[in-house]
Structure 1
Amino acid sequence: MADLFSKNYNKRTRFTRVCIGEAIFALMDKKEYKDIRISDIVKRAGVSRMTFYHYYETKEDALADFFHEIVAGYIRECISEKEKIGKFHDITSIVHALKYFDQYAGFILKLVDAKLYYIVIDAMNAYMKNRIQPRYKIPIYELYFYGGALLNIFIMWEQDGKQESAEEIARMVANSVADPGKDEVKNKM
């Protein structure tokens, strides 16, 4: 599978790979994931089987690559708007992440429903390890904890119909990260 965090792709290659990912996503509206065949994907994407297999071994590889492309878009946006977004644990950064990935909630929830959660968590872990850890020097397991928690919050927020605003969620997350266990300490006193 392609590693979008370390390779540069030209526009044509990226376009082809995104077409394949979008084709699978569209087919997931019509069929159970397990029933989608490579022939369905290439027909919908308008590419040959040879092109598909040039990039991927499996449809899971294509979905992972498509999700990594979404994460790469998030990284590009964070870089271009870093003054507005704030630092990693800031409320504005959390709000930005929730709102950015909300655009792709349908795709993410389809992956979760298809029992492909590992694609999302693998992308989150790669983002934490390759982008956040080198910049902020936060211990890697703290980042895995934070990323997994934020991902779970996002998925549950989406599944529960987004009862709270992104800002409310961000305040809850930021408060728990800033002072974890504060309620537990109060209860013991």
Structure 2
Amino acid sequence: MAATQHAQQLKQDSQTYLTTALLQLLETHDLNTISVTQVVKRAGVSRMAFYRNFETLDDLLAAYFRPKLTARFNDVVNGVPQAEKLAAMGQFFQELAPTLQLATQRGFEEIIRQVFNQNMEAFYQTTLAETPLTPVQRRYWTKFMSAGVYAIWREWLLTGQRESLTTIHGLIAGFQTQTMASLRA
């Protein structure tokens, strides 16, 4: 049992070192110019350690962003009180803003968008279960909302978060309510 815990800790440490190394390299290099060799060398781990955990650098970045984004979606799904949810989102967005800026400059924003879209699809699959939408309406409405919500958050983060989080949250809720109402009409 102790050996298993030790192996798990080594795996977690390797993932942390690899993620840190890649994020450091992204500060000065575009994603498409970084190699696995550069990342493992900077992380101080073997190529085998990389390939035991990830297939590509994109997979490494997705593994880094997935729990961060999923946690915010879980706050919504699990009915965290509004004030607590907005505080957690505010902290998250404050931390994410520089990373999103870097992602747009260094060519890895699409990974963040993909993780976001996966979470949106899971969220709406849960929340739309009881709606009278057809499967086609549900599928396309989810794609529409996912793209729109991402675009709003992106614009807000990249332009300095001039509006309050409450304003943005209300704007998104209004778009969601109105577009859903138009489908039901």
Normalised TM-score (structure 1): 0.70
Question: For the residues of structure 2 that align with 1:99 and 1:145, how far apart are their CA atoms?
Answer: 27
Question: What is the 5 A alignment of 1:59-70?
Answer: 59-70=57-68
Please identify which structure carries the higher helix content.
2
Question: For the residues of structure 1 that align with 2:124 and 2:12, how far apart are their CA atoms?
Answer: 24
The residue aligned with 2:94 is: 102
Question: For the residues of structure 2 that align with 1:146 and 1:93, how far apart are their CA atoms?
Answer: 20
Question: What is the 5 A alignment of 1:1-189?
Answer: 13-75=11-73, 77=75, 82-85=79-82, 97=89, 99-137=91-129, 139-180=138-179
**What secondary structure, in the 3-state scheme, does the structure 2 residue paired with 1:63 have?**
helix
Cα-to-partner distance string for 1:85-131 (whole Å, 9 max, x where unaligned):
49xxxxx8678546524322222332232333321222122112334
Contact 1:95 1:170 in 2 (8 A): no
Shift in alpha-carbon separation, 1:99–1:175, aligned structure 2, 3 A:
farther
Cα-to-partner distance string for 1:5-43 (whole Å, 9 max, x where unaligned):
xxxxx5654443233223211211122333322222113
Q: Give the deviation of 1:179 after TM superposition.
A: 3.0
Q: Which runs of 5+ in 2 are unaligned?
A: 1-7, 132-137, 180-185
Question: For the residues of structure 2 that align with 1:135 and 1:167, how far apart are their CA atoms?
Answer: 21
Cα-to-partner distance string for 1:134-187 (whole Å, 9 max, x where unaligned):
34426233222222211111111122111111112222222233335xxxxxxx
Q: Which runs of 5+ in 1 are unaligned?
A: 1-9, 87-91, 181-189
Shift in alpha-carbon separation, 1:132–1:173, aligned structure 2, 3 A:
closer
Question: For the residues of structure 1 that align with 2:160 and 2:22, how far apart are their CA atoms?
Answer: 25
**What secondary structure, in the 3-state scheme, does the structure 2 residue paired with 1:179 have?**
helix
Aligned residue identity for 1:104: L
Shift in alpha-carbon separation, 1:154–1:11, aligned structure 2, 3 A:
farther
Cα-to-partner distance string for 1:36-86 (whole Å, 9 max, x where unaligned):
22222113323211101112222122112212132233355557x733149
**What secondary structure, in the 3-state scheme, does the structure 1 residue paired with 2:27 have?**
coil
Q: What is the CA RMSD across the aligned residues, in angstroms?
A: 3.0
Contact 1:42 1:52 in 2 (8 A): yes
Aligned residue identity for 1:121: R
The structure number with the bigger radius of gyration is 2
Normalised TM-score (structure 2): 0.71
